[in-house]
Amino acid sequence: MTQATMAKKILLVDDSTTSQLKTRSIFGNDEAYEFVSASDGKEGVEKALTEKPDLILMDVEMPRMTGIEACREIRKNLATKNIPIILMTMRSEASFIKAGRDSGCTDYLFKPVDGEKLRAVVKKLIT
């Protein structure tokens, strides 16, 4: 199994480099996944269009465009509308969860993300 032909591409959208590193570390050196990063929602939408990832992991609170706004934009585009999107945030208020669900996300996880849960959700959605 070569990484280029078999790896699933995950777009990781988060304005925090630390959060990006933590999320990547959950997957360790697992060659089943290839990561592409974006540092805010606007860049996330652009990379979703150019990279065509198999799945998107996206923070909610980011500059320029929030994860919820980015999720809505990704869902509007025919090329990206079916990509699974997992929103990740520290905000657990009902209004944030509802806004996330209403934006079209596939799942909504709270930070700090439970590594086993994240791996299980990702595996379920793209394998």
Could you report the per-residue pLDDT of 56-109, keeping only the tens digit for each? 999 999 999 999 999 999 999 999 999 999 999 888 888 888 998 999 999 999
Residue 42 has pLDDT above 80, yes or no: yes
Which tokens sit at 127? Answer: 């394998």
Provide the domain count of the chain.
1
CATH number of the domain encompassing residue 15: 3.40.50.2300
Q: Taking the complete model, does pTM exceed 0.95, yes or no?
A: no
Average pLDDT of the chain is 92
Dist. CA 39–CA 114, nearest whole Å: 22
Expressed as residue numbers, the domain containing 48 is: 3-126
Q: Give the 3-state secondary structure of 85-123.
A: EEEEECCCCHHHHHHHHHCCCCEEEECCCCHHHHHHHHH
pLDDT-above-70 percentage for the chain? 96
